Structure 1
Amino acid sequence: MVDVSREQVLVTGAAGKLGRAVVADLLDAGHQVVAVDRRQPEEDPGTRFVRLEGDDVPGLAAALEGCTALVALASVPSPGSLPPHQLFRDNTQAAFVALQVATAAGVRRAVVASSGSAYVTAWSPRPTMVDEVPVREEHPLRNAEEYGLSKQVSEEIAAMFCRRHPDLSVAALRFHWIATAEEQRERMTAQRGGPRDWPEELRQMWGYVDLRDAARACRLAVETAQRRPYGFAVLNVVAADLLADETLDALLSAHAPHVRRSPGGPSAGGAFAIDRAREVIGWEPRHSWRDLD
């Protein structure tokens, strides 16, 4: 008898930080993985690796043979490394091609890497802030740079494919600074030991997600869709706490009193609502920088 719970997952962007963690997490959970990237991983991914450019439709179609799910992570991870028009083109093209080829091959479970940058945070060219906390997925998207815009468009691409294929489930996961334990420790050490850059901290809203939690969210999105299809879902994937010693209420009262607190919002927790990820794919963060102290 075939184990229907076991997936064969194609992971694009498999040589990146998140990609490597997702491949490892999927393998640890007993799934099969085809790892795809434009560059060779520095370490053996432990599974089949295919070197492809993001726009190689025939190559991607061949790599997808036998796959039952897609985790589309191929993306330029931040602005500055490419001219803006190239970054926007590469990120949106990678999302479109992956979903186009996968759905044509009959794949009906997929994950697309989005970002909290779609709201307004991270790389906005001027200090900008959200309207309200906790930041829910319905918050207006007011990105003002090419990376955040590329993530917003990638979400729209995923939504379009779900309209085209009513039996398709795609989770667009809005990650906020995917960080290893060491990166979290370094950020807190720098924050505690030097002058605070309040405009930058406010723009970031002290958000982060542990790399292990981010990888697990990708796997849960695939596994849940097999048992309970959910169509198109945009989900915040952010730690439950702040990357700061202070509480959210204290920080906002002192530095951004105009930011609204919605009823029932967290006082000591994080600035991003993560209840929808729990409801749709059963994800909750397990790791915090506080465990490192």
Structure 2
Amino acid sequence: MKKVVVTGGSGMLGHWVVRHFVEQGYEVLNVDTRRPEETLCPTLIADLENLGETYSVLAGADAVVHLAAIPAMNIRTPDVTFRNNVMSTYNVLEAAAGLGIRKAAIASSESSYGIVFAEHRIMPQYVPLDEDHPQLPQDSYGLSKIVNEKTAEMFHRRTGMQVVSLRLGNVIPPDWYERFPSFIHKPEERERILWSYIDTRDAASACRLAIEADGLDAIALNIAADDSSMAIRSRELMAERYPDVTNFRAPLEDYETLFSNERAKRLLGWQPQYQWRNEVGRIEE
């Protein structure tokens, strides 16, 4: 049985990632600054900005999934957000490299493209937005994710460690689907995330596949559902909220995602299983 350390396993996404790895037969250690609400595996409380503590919690692991972070802007001050996210990621990868761990997956974000938290509104240069789209953040959170991706590349060059940076869309746990009817006809409420979302269970499977895959080097992959989070067709969404964007790189005839997940499907063999229309239907039943 392989041992996986999940940092941030007490968080909203982390809980589902821990659950998924446990269900798949892995030995799992959760590392966080607080205990989880539900005990699924052992938990260690640690400060990942402390390199010595980070070495200790990763000892004996075969792989690490690093989710621990300040997860958005305006939770802590910009400098604290940047320092925490960058230093914890550096320390996790430094300790993994020193301990001979060969596989890591880290949580990056759609925010790295700069649209989400932009003080001066910007628009995508093309859609569906893929991993080659310029990353142009105006905020410390988005910048921290770019730095982390570059840190991953550095460790791969130095050690050969495989590090997959998962650019996650808006993460949705199963009990949040009841909120969807309140915004699915209001495109202005979610335009900054290009109406993307990803079920926590699908994000969890992407984390597992990222450490099970071989030969990926250091790579960033968008992780999103196949459809948008809206009850309005994707071309209509773009026409209403981003009318100046004319570079369409897919037909967009229905409710397709505008945050491309094709590369993750191809390289990980990943396929999202959950769509909000089905989940809302289950709640209503």
Label 1:80 to 1:254 Cα distance change in 2 as closer, same or farther (>3 A): closer
Given the superposition, is the C-alpha separation of residues 128 and 181 from structure 1 closer, same or farther in structure 2, using an over 3 Å criterion? farther
User: Which amino acid in 2 is paired with 1:239?
Assistant: A
What's the counterpart of residue 83 of structure 1?
77
Tell me the residue number matched to 2:224.
238
Give the TM-score taking structure 2 as reference length: 0.93
Aligned partners of 1:255, 1:175: CA distance in 2, in Å?
22
Gaps of 5+ in 1: 1-5
Among 280, 284, 287, the alignment partner of 2:267 is 280
Q: 1-side partners of 2:241 and 2:49: how far apart? A: 45
* CA distance in structure 1 between the partners assigned to 2:240 and 2:14 by the alignment: 38
The letter of the residue matching 2:209 is L
Give the aligned residue type for 1:275. E
What is the percentage of aligned positions where both structures have the same residue? 32
Find 2:173's aligned residue among 177, 180, 185. 180
Report the equivalent of 2:117. Answer: 123
Q: How far apart are the structure 1 equivalents of 2:120 and 2:175?
A: 28
The residue correspondences of 1:136-155 to structure 2 (distance < 5 A) are: 136-155=130-149
Shift, 1:37, TM fit: 0.7
- Paired residues in the alignment total 279
The separation in 2 between residues aligned to 1:214 and 1:92, in whole angstroms, is 22
| Structure 1 counterpart of 2:18, from 2, 5, 23 | 23
Alpha-carbon contact 1:120-1:129 (below 8 Å) kept? no
CA contact (8 A) 2:197 2:228 kept: yes
**1:248/1:261 CA distance change after superposition, 3 Å:** farther
Give the deviation of 1:278 after TM superposition: 1.1
- Of 64, 70, 82, 2:64 maps to 70
Q: Secondary structure at the match of 1:133?
A: coil
TM-score by length of 1: 0.91
Q: 1:15 to 1:218 in 2, by over 3 A?
A: same
Q: What's the counterpart of residue 42 of structure 1?
A: 37
Contact 1:118–1:141, Cα closer than 8 Å, also in 2: yes
**What is the root-mean-square deviation in Å for CA atoms of aligned residues?**
1.6
Residue identity in the other structure for 1:36: V
Q: Indicate whether 1:257 and 2:251 are aligned.
A: no
- Unpaired runs of 5+ residues, structure 2, are none
The equivalent of 2:182 in structure 1 is 190
Give the Å deviation of 1:139.
Answer: 0.2
Deviation at 1:185, TM superposition (A): 3.0
Cα 1:105/1:265, change in 2 over 3 Å: farther
- After superposition, the C-alpha distances for 1:67-92 in whole angstroms (9 at most, x for unaligned) are 11010111001111211101100000
For the pair 1:169 / 2:162, whether they are aligned, the reply is yes
Letter in 2 for 1:100: E
The answer to whether residue 105 in structure 2 is matched with residue 111 in structure 1 is: yes
Distance between the aligned counterparts of 2:37 and 2:252, measured in 1? Answer: 41
Q: CA deviation at 1:56?
A: 2.5
SS where residue 141 of structure 1 aligns? coil
Q: How much has 1:284 moved relative to structure 2? A: 1.6
> Once the 2 structures are TM-superposed, how far is the Cα of residue 229 of structure 1 from its aligned partner?
2.3
Aligned to 1:79, the other structure's residue is in SS state: coil
Structure 2 SS opposite 1:78? coil
AA at the equivalent of 1:274? N
Measure how far apart 1:281 and its partner are. 1.2
Shift of 1:197: 6.1
* Range with greater deviation from structure 2 (282-291 or 49-58): 49-58
Instruction: Report if aligned partners of 1:181, 1:289 keep a CA contact under 8 Å in 2.
Output: no
8 Å contact from structure 2 (residues 184, 232) kept in 1 = no
Cα–Cα, structure 1 residues 192 and 170, in superposed 2: closer, same or farther, change >3 Å? closer
